[in-house]
Structure 1
Amino acid sequence: MTAVQIPLNATASQTLNVILNQQLVRLDVYQRSTGLYMDVWLNDTQIVAGAICQNLNPVVHADYLGLGGDFVFVDTQGSADPTYDGLGDRYVLTFVTTS
């Protein structure tokens, strides 16, 4: 099992592309009044839509989707759920492989 930190900016809405397990992954991360959410695209196919982002709670929850791991937000200063204004600093997004 390996962990890779995904760089995020402290903005209310962002999209980034990363290569994970030799696959193109697009992440849409956005703040709503009810929390921080994320969409996950794998090779131009959306595999997760509107997942709530919580501290230490995996985002994808489904090995059969072929991602080969899962995304986890980590609060480096406590145990709060992430908000956009702390992304990349207090709240770190990590991709943990299952292999």
Structure 2
Amino acid sequence: MLVNTLKLESISAAGSVGFLLIFTVVNDTGFKLSKEIGGKKSIPLLGAIFYFIAKVALLVQHYSVSKSDVFIAIGIIGFCFVIYIQKQNIKINKTFKASLAILLLKSN
């Protein structure tokens, strides 16, 4: 659907920002779990910092060329986060309901 309604540059910008966001998070996670995985903290920390800088540079460059591309990219990624949060809330609600049902059965 997006292919038929958006310019290729907008879709490309969203993909690039999403890619950089994912690898920023991967490196941040590597930094936080460095003790558990037996790795150095400096490598994932530098990776997270450089990916974040690259993401900001990409957004600034796209903003100077086409502001709508940046807003579309941020909107697509924001929409993905909304869906993710909604699915997490559904899982939490199911877990809560199951726990509540177990407690009610045990109390009877």
- TM-score, normalised to structure 2, is 0.24
State which structure, 1 or 2, has the greater radius of gyration over its C-alpha atoms: 2
Which structure is higher in strand share? 1
